[in-house]
Homo-oligomer: A and B are copies of this chain.
Amino acid sequence: MPTTDNALSPLHPLLYEKTVRRALLEDLGRAGDLTTDAIVPAGSAAAAVIVARKGGRIAGTGVAAAAFQCLDPHVEVDANVPDGADAAAGEIVAGIRGSARAILSAERVALNFLARLSGIATSTRDIVGALAPFGTRVVCTRKTTPGLRILEKYAVRAGGGFNHRFGLDDAVLIKDNHRVIAGGIEEAVRRVRLHAGHMVKIEVEVDTLEELKEALALKVDAVLLDNMPPETLEQGVRMARGKALTEASGGITPENAPAIAAAGVDLISIGWITHSSPALDVSLDLL
Contacts and interface: CB of A to CB of B under 8 A. Distances in A.
A166 B31 CA distance: 7
A115 interface: yes
B11 A143 contact: no
Instruction: State the number of copies, please.
Output: 6
A112 B145 CA distance: 7
Contact of A164 (B36, B108, B170, B197): B197
A207 interface: no
Given A28-B168, A29-B168, A34-B195, 6 more contacts: A6-B194, A14-B21, A22-B147, A112-B142, A162-B198, A199-B203
Interface string A10-54: 111011000111111111111111111111101010000000000
A147 to B, nearest CB: 4
Contacts of A11: 32
Interface residues of A, number: 106
26 contacts: A5-B195, A9-B37, A12-B101, A14-B71, A23-B147, A26-B146, A27-B149, A31-B169, A33-B168, A34-B170, A34-B195, A35-B173, A35-B174, A39-B181, A39-B182, A40-B181, A108-B143, A112-B142, A112-B143, A112-B146, A115-B143, A116-B146, A116-B275, A146-B147, A198-B222, A276-B278
Interface stretch (A86-94, A185-193, A231-239, A255-263): A185-193
A275 B153 CA distance: 18
Contacts of A29: 29-30, 166-170
Interface in A59-80: 70-71
Contacts of A1: 193, 198
A245 B266 CA distance: 24
Interface in A194-209: 194-201, 203
Contact of A115 (B28, B163, B275): B275
A40 B22 CA distance: 30
A216 interface: no
A142 B162 CA distance: 26
Contacts of A221: 199
Interface in A115-166: 115-116, 119, 137, 139, 142-150, 153, 157, 162-166
A200 B201 contact: yes
Contacts of A228: none
A181 B157 CA distance: 23
B112 A34 contact: no
Interface string A275-287: 1101100000010
A174 B39 contact: yes
